[in-house]
């Protein structure tokens, strides 16, 4: 009887130790996620996301704003040496508070030979960056239409230089 009691005490102490470790891990992980949020989005990651879109075109950060959902948006503009706008891009920064687990290769995409299939895709909590097309104002849409019209590049360049 005493051996069963001693085994039960040892098992209960191990279970309590594991619960304390799990609680400490959870508190530390939540504190590190809060610290990531306080730091804000990484400027280097935002510029890297924009450079993936613009490739070789020189681009600059036009301005930074927030939408109604408090999502941080970085607006980039690529211009030629003569000041002609070549393209616009918005990099959206979104913070995810919890890690996301999903099933791995559903569509059987490109795989490396002799590599086992990925069972789970894990996305940790933190800042995520997405490059999207900007919503253009009516004057910007008008100017883009003029720029793309055949035989109208000279008038567009003259308009840009007068601006």
CA pair distance 156, 149, nearest whole angstrom: 10
| Residue among 123, 81, 77, 66 nearest 98 (CA) | 123
Q: What is the pTM of this model?
A: 0.58
CA pair distance 145, 97, nearest whole angstrom: 41
CA pair distance 115, 131, nearest whole angstrom: 31
Q: What is the pLDDT of residues 79-109, one digit of tens each?
A: 777 767 777 888 888 888 887 777 655 555 5
Structure tokens at 61: 């950060």
Largest CA distance in the chain: 98
Q: What is the pLDDT of residues 35-55, one digit of tens each?
A: 888 888 888 888 888 888 887
């Amino acid at each position: 009887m005493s051996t069963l009691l001693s085994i039960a005490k040892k098992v209960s102490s191990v279970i309590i130790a594991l619960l304390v470790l799990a609680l400490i891990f959870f508190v530390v992980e939540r504190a590190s996620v809060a610290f990531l949020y306080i730091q804000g989005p990484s400027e280097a990651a935002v510029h890297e996301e924009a450079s993936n879109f613009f490739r070789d075109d020189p681009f600059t950060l036009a301005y930074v704003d927030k939408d109604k959902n408090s999502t941080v948006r970085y607006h980039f503009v690529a211009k030629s040496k003569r000041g002609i706008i070549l393209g616009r891009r918005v990099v959206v920064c979104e913070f995810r508070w919890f890690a996301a687990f999903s099933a791995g290769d559903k569509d059987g995409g490109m795989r490396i030979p002799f590599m086992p299939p990925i069972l789970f895709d894990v996305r940790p909590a933190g800042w995520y960056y997405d490059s999207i097309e900007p919503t253009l104002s009516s004057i910007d849409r008008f100017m883009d239409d003029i720029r793309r019209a055949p035989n109208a590049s000279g008038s567009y360049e003259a308009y840009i230089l007068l601006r």
